[in-house]
Structure 1
């Protein structure tokens, strides 16, 4: 049996696992969580190639113009837009912020390259099966890529693997989507502008639907069809919606589909426990890093992992910061419930929010970086009475099991020429 010892064991090489490994390994003043001055040794357990390894994913976030992972950024935008269902356009310049896209493969390559230069970090390609407490710490039992058993011992374990099921919640919606990476015959995209929500698509009877366009160049873009609802669609329904959106709404003309991705992100007001056992803590989406109202996760995961690294430097290895504030979670719970009950109409709600709030302030709000006064100003920009009624009823609603946790993103390479004018999805 292969055996590895480290101060810190990280399970999972996604956004949160890699961010934590990077934060711990590259900090000059990281000391042992017992208060010593030596660097922490880190073991990163990543799933090998195969069914247990997630497909490539696309992560978007916003930050000041320069960032520590810019070498992995696929594209960035200085302006954002939202299209109302009536065709009105809202949005504008982001000031010092940039809306950025990172592909998971590029992020992994960048972090792996940086970690490979450090002798106190070890990468183990293995599937973790069991985490348990031992007399002097914790132990992770794994199977390596060649099928051999392995054991990784550490003082503390941070586990980023998806939960097998979601915790009980009062409201759970799914943000589900399919996107095409397209290339058009003519230059039709503005590389400076990202379209975050385009409500000119047919709306479902429950929830909402919108298009999402991230230009990668004048002829290249990621074009997505997204829904907030209680159940995902079939692949055929997503593709019909995308054909309708690209041909009849965006009027892109003939284009080539160069790649595709599809995924489901839970949007829930569930409470996610961060402690999973003695010396074992959950991080990332498994600890509630996905913002319920938006589905964005990347920035919160990075913020949380930086907090963990700071806590370890201060000798507090059991301190795992909450990804979001209680106030942000309370506001999101109200929004989710109001949307799920139909008290607010999704396209109108988000269009009003973007119309009445400067883009930079709104993105800071969505990132949890606004104060109480700014939050109140934004709250007054949305329908008051439906939200107030929902806020008053929430404390009396029971939390019910929400079912399986669905956070996987499936990606399959596809090529071909689009034949437009299919009907929109039901």
Structure 2
């Protein structure tokens, strides 16, 4: 244990995907001589997750991709639709090369690593004192980037989860089309409340990630996930006896209109899901984390505070809240909602919308493609909910002076 805290310019609290992307971006763009600390009890290594995202080719991520596709399929009980994504592409990135690149960047940057869980972040407006969970001072930093998971500031009016299980499967003979991914296959049995789909991300004609996903309020049991995956494999017409499951992936991602606080104190900035990088309507996070990392590094290189822009425009967060409310209240079916989205818009527009990159005119076109009357009801319900929440907060008693405490 250090007798006194280490002084640095920047402390990364949490060492997962968000911090790994920041380290790599700082290695490329950051100012020379920046003093950096990384504080996390686990030094991430190996394959513990897979990120799928869309974007244009020619980025720093290209050398690390496991696969990418210029065509994807969206499948409903009514039929199969093949979507050409050009000039975008759908890509798969596994965690091991991301962590390896971050470790190399960390070494080149001369970062100091603390293998401890961070506790309180005491921000006096000039520096931030990072303590461990026992209260011992670890680091005094000019800025802290905190990517630890945390709940929104207050519960959302709608709180769902994207939860999934995937099998990395291998076959002896050619089975998959490596030139095309299955983005969403809605032929899976639909839950009573929510929407489910399968997808297939082929790395080669004999190796692919086959996954079952739900957007719904509650998790399933282990047996239920496996049953759903077995059913989806059968639906694809694959011989389960001939498949070898090489790895299993699980995940849970929040889908909520609850507000995440991106800057809880003057010199603490939250990244990743805690900083609003997760799209409430889909659970997609990676592209926003990558943007945040680039913005942080370029800001520091220019001598500016490391403050990334909001991950998504405010109007998109409102549209997500409305869509979640409509799905949660059963005003619109999930299969119908997503099928119409892809049927009535160019695929490239849908993907840019889901990534928060569309114009207002394109957003209006996306809105027109949704079921009008159910969504209008959801808009009204959302407005009433927002007004009610504001009135409740206005009527709440003021906190007693001196009774609060500073929290990380």
Q: Which TM-score bucket, shorter chain as reference? A: 0.7 to 0.9
1:144-293 equivalences in 2 (<5 Å): 151-163=138-150, 167-253=154-240, 254-293=242-281
Of residues 137, 142, 147, the one that matches 2:127 is: 137
* 8 A contact 1:180–1:224 mirrored in 2: yes
User: What secondary structure sits across from 2:18 in the alignment?
Assistant: helix
In the alignment, is residue 329 of structure 1 matched against residue 323 of structure 2?
Answer: no
CA contact (8 A) 2:75 2:187 kept: yes
Q: In the alignment, which of 306, 312, 328 is matched to residue 294 of structure 2?
A: 306
Name the structure 1 match of 2:23.
Answer: 21
Whole-Å separation in 2 of the counterparts to 1:60 and 1:208: 19
Partner deviation per Cα, 1:221-251 (whole Å, 9 max, x = no partner)? 1111111111000010000011111023443
Q: Please list the CA deviations of residues 350-406 of structure 1 after superposition, one character each: whole Å capped at 9, or x if unmatched.
A: 112112222222111111111111111122122111112211221211559xxxxxx
Q: TM-score, normalised by structure 2?
A: 0.88
Deviations 1:37-96 (A, max 9, x none): x6432222233269xx9981111111212220222212111111110123x112322112
C-alpha separation between the residues in 2 aligned to 1:217 and 1:54? Answer: 21
Query: Is 2:366 aligned against 1:366?
Result: no
Query: Which segment drifts farther, 301-310 or 383-392?
Result: 301-310
Q: Which residue does 1:41 correspond to in 2?
A: 35
* Superposition TM-score, scaled by structure 1 size: 0.84
Please state how far the C-alpha of 1:204 moved relative to its aligned partner.
1.3
State the partner residue of 2:393. Answer: none
Q: 1: CA distance between counterparts of 2:306 and 2:104?
A: 29
Q: Give the conservation status (yes or no) of the 8 Å contact 1:57–1:103.
A: yes
Unpaired segments of 5 or more residues in structure 2? 391-408
Helix, strand or coil at the partner of 2:109: coil
Whether the 8 Å contact between 2:152 and 2:274 is mirrored in structure 1 is no
Judged with a 3 Å threshold, the aligned counterparts in structure 2 of structure 1 residues 49 and 222 are, in CA distance, closer, same or farther, namely same
CA deviation after TM superposition for structure 1 residue 325, in Å: 0.7
> 8 Å contact 1:43–1:122 — kept in the other structure?
yes
CA 1:355/1:213 → structure 2, altered by over 3 Å: closer, same or farther?
same
The correspondence for 1:99, drawn from 80, 90, 93, is 90
Q: Does the C-alpha gap of structure 1 residues 399 and 223 become closer, same or farther in structure 2, counting only changes over 3 Å?
A: farther
SS at match of 1:117: helix
Q: Within the alignment, does 1:74 sit opposite 2:66 as a pair?
A: yes
Equivalent in the alignment of 2:370: 382
Quickly say closer, same or farther: Cα 1:148–1:273, change in 2 above 3 A: closer
* 2:283 paired residue number: 295
- Secondary structure at the aligned position of 1:126 is classed as coil
Distance 1:330 1:47, change over 3 A: same
Higher helix share: 2
Name the CA distance, whole Å, in 1 between partners of 2:156 and 2:47: 28
In structure 2, the partner of 1:418 is none
Contact 1:43–1:123 (CA<8 Å) still a contact in 2? yes
RMSD between superposed Cα atoms in Å:
2.5
State the structure with bigger RCO (CA 8 A, min sep 6), 1 or 2. 1
TM-superposed deviation, 1:133: 2.7
Aligned residue pairs: how many? 385
The alignment status of 1:111 with 2:102, answered yes or no, reads yes
Q: Distance in 2 between matches of 1:174 and 1:262?
A: 13
Q: Alignment partner of 2:38: what SS?
A: strand
1:313 and 1:245 map into 2 onto residues whose CA distance is: 48
- 1:116 is displaced (CA, Å) by 2.0
User: Once structures 1 and 2 are overlaid, which stretch shifts more, 268-277 or 19-28?
Assistant: 19-28
Selected match of 1:9 from 11, 19, 26 = 11
